[in-house]
Structure 1
Amino acid sequence: MLHLIFILGIILLHGCSTLPEVVESTGHPEGTESEIYIANHGWHTGVILSAQDFFSAMPALRSRFGAYPFIEIGWGDAGFYRADEITLAITIRAIFWPTDSIVHVVGLPRSPYIHFKNSEVKRLKVTNDGLSALKQFLSNSVDRDKQGAPRMLDQGIYGDSQFYRGTGYYHVFNTCNKWTAKALASAGVDLSTQFKLTASSVMDVIEGE
């Protein structure tokens, strides 16, 4: 019986929304290259942009994070991300049941390599077209109110950070690391977003420094 319930749950999840979706580039692969960073924190990955690039995607957050040269953004399960203690029940619920998503935004006062010295950080170059698509993907990841402002929630989990309500639902086919893979695909990185369930599965496909 449990086996049947598990199979039915997987079938149900497979049909669930996988928002935010990859943003297709506009077809101009050439152009000046910009730098982005991907940070691997062990179980979770985040995308890091210069403040200038980030605020051009989400100008409403300039007043909150305008003092920082770099901004990290991550997406994940609302309950798992904010939990003081990761329990088995929280983990099972996040994996096997569609749950609300949340966006974590962090202001970095220094280079990502220095700020996240205990994490794996890779730098890669993307074209202007890829950067534009990536910024649209990041913007699409944040839920907004009727006035178009990001829906702010509570304080983030490290550094000067803030949670915002995300778009889409978190589940086994739409995880935090798949979100990062979709961000990279939007930026023009040639990779498959399928089966990107772990941080290492994302970092291994990045040809960066």
Structure 2
Amino acid sequence: MELRQLRSLIVVLLAGLLAGCAANDACYEPGTSEETFRSVYVVKRAWHTGIAIAAADWPNRHWSVLADFPESRYLEFGWGDARFYQAEEESFWLGFRAAFFSTSSAVHVIGFEHPSPEALIADEVIEVRVTAERLKQLTHSIEQEFAQSVPVATGASLDVTPQPNKFYEAKRRFFFPRMCNWWTARRLNEGGCPIAAWSVVSAGRIMREARGFAGAPQTVP
């Protein structure tokens, strides 16, 4: 069985239980002033999702990862099994090992200029609005995912995008069903979005939820 077939089988088996419906609720309370809104971007590539934030909006201005991408206006963050994530070519055995026998994980950071599918070589990019206070919680949660207090890049990178990108050692254990899309859901939840991360497996679920958050009414005074 090829890796693509394995992914399809997993998604089909779990679709009925975990598909869920988009909440169509915003990631902030009704009546929130628009002045407090900040944008985050949910990025999808095939079965994988990540979350992107403007570097200028990052609350912790002294975080060393910002200095690793001095020319980038935005940073995208994704998480996965270290060996599978950094492999030049995917294979069934790498995917199987990642899901059930992972020994380490990694955070992948991509620096870019414009939050668009074309710039990121992505299938879809959705803008979601959160409050400045919730953005602090979201970015802090991302910082806590790195294994080192002062993250040092592993030296690996991928050609998934022409933009600069680096891998960093992560502290969290990777295993099925707590994989990359679960991780993205956790970040959105830290940002105040009403999403149950425990129920998320597929990239499609993440994007459906993100469309609901993005399309929710923005009630302001």
TM-score of the aligned structures, taking structure 1 as reference length: 0.79
- Deviation for aligned residue 1:129: 1.9
Q: CA deviation at 1:197?
A: 1.3
Counterpart amino acid of residue 53 in structure 2: L
Q: In the TM superposition, what is the alpha-carbon distance from 1:138 to its structure 2 partner?
A: 0.6
1:46 aligned partner: 50
Query: 1: distance between equivalents of 2:204 and 2:114?
Result: 24
Q: Report the counterpart of residue 83 of structure 1 in structure 2.
A: 87
Q: For residues 25-104 of structure 1, what are the structure 2 equivalents within 5 Å?
A: 30=32, 32-54=36-58, 56=60, 59-104=63-108
In 2: Cα distance, 1:170 partner to 1:89 partner:
16
Once the two structures are TM-superposed, the CA of residue 142 in structure 1 deviates from its matched residue by 0.9
Instruction: Tell me which residue corresponds to 2:209.
Output: 205
Q: Kindly, what percent of the aligned residue pairs are identical?
A: 26
C-alpha distance 195-105 of structure 1, shift in aligned 2 (>3 A): same
Alignment partner, residue 150 of structure 2: 149
Distance in 2, matches of 1:182 and 1:156, equals 24
5+ residue gaps, structure 2, are 1-27, 216-221
Following superposition, the deviation at residue 119 of structure 1 comes to 1.6
What does 1:104-123 correspond to in 2, within 5 Å? 104-116=108-120, 118-123=122-127
Does structure 2 retain, via aligned residues, the 8 Å contact 1:51–1:66?
Answer: no
SS of 1:111's partner is coil
In structure 2, the partner of 1:187 is 191
- The residue identity in structure 2 corresponding to 1:34 is R
Take 2:62 and 2:123, find their aligned partners in 1: how far apart are those partners?
26
Give the TM-score of the pair, scaled to structure 2: 0.75
Give the residue type in structure 2 aligned to 1:198.
Answer: S
Residue type at the aligned position of 2:139: K
Question: Aligned Cα RMSD in Å?
Answer: 2.0
3-state secondary structure, aligned to 2:201: coil
